[in-house]
Structure 1
């Protein structure tokens, strides 16, 4: 099956899904599996792999680390090298939809009937990400599309995907935490209001007891400003902040 997928053939039940230019991803909904082929980012990638492990190896290790620590992440099923030199990883699908999908489509802003559930999503997300950071984990690309939310039992449960660039530390470095918070803030003011961001941050802050009030507030302000600068550079801000 991996050979077929690598040869650009799709076995029955498999379909390609959108991905970056450095990966090829297919999904089998019935079997609840994902196939990810890691395409070289640069000619130096093989050299880097000898020093810190290939991207596929790191993804597999970081999935396992998260799961062993009690966080939800894909379960590794099969992995290996292809004749082209690329590597692949087959893993289970985790339940839920990206937080970005919840914020934009399932719980769109401006609907009074969804106000309470939107706030719960952001509070539960803040608690989950705060616990992740408090445990020393930093996600390598914490866009809201890489955090899946599943609503059951009256609350949201979260899983982390695209974990190849994750890292774990005794204490999560502030600059890495700030980057994660910036990535989660990459929504326009029309999509996510300041008060909603504050709901997330307050829940996150309660998990990060090692930070002083001043340190936490600086992280909140700087990560928000950083995200707004990046959105402005991309031409996505329609009003100044």
Structure 2
């Protein structure tokens, strides 16, 4: 599997879910993992999916709106970090652990089935889960540069909960979180960093990002990137700096520059 399932495929699968079980003789890991991710993508309404291997239940999960909402049951062969997530609402923070579990459980050379039933309880809308696109990328089933047309926009959307402001050259910072006002010192620093010539920017290649904090505002971090023709910056909670940096790197498998 190397591309997104088509809309027609998703709709046809969604219509079939809950009636007959799907099955596939998955010769390769790509086929096995794609089979499960296609089933998740097909879940427009909340569904509970049971994945069987050779007729025996192997994995039970919950999906809705093309997102993996929860891992419900995993075998003992699954990584411990994934088994610890069983029953918990999933977020993008668990992407790596979930992808590793799927990679281990779906090595290929398997006879897979997927059975679908309504969930015992509706998923919590406050926890949308992990999107199939993110899992496809993490498992290497879609080249990142094709899956994400605008990495910066994707990052901002993913970092919404910790995002404080966005800044572009020649423009006042756009405040995203009004409850976390920026100091005048921080705003001046943003202007200095984005005004040409910018020594910090000159050290960065396209798609790299530099995160750092200021002594005057230790609870906030600035992310500086040269993702296009002009430099850009975002202000986030300092405690989320490592997480956001790792997420950015996973989008395109590019290096991350860092400075204290």
Q: TM-score range by the shorter chain?
A: under 0.3
Give the structure with the larger helix fraction: 1
TM-score of the superposed pair, with normalisation by structure 2 = 0.25
TM-score of the superposed pair, with normalisation by structure 1 = 0.27
Structure index of larger Rg: 2
Give the structure with the larger strand fraction: 2
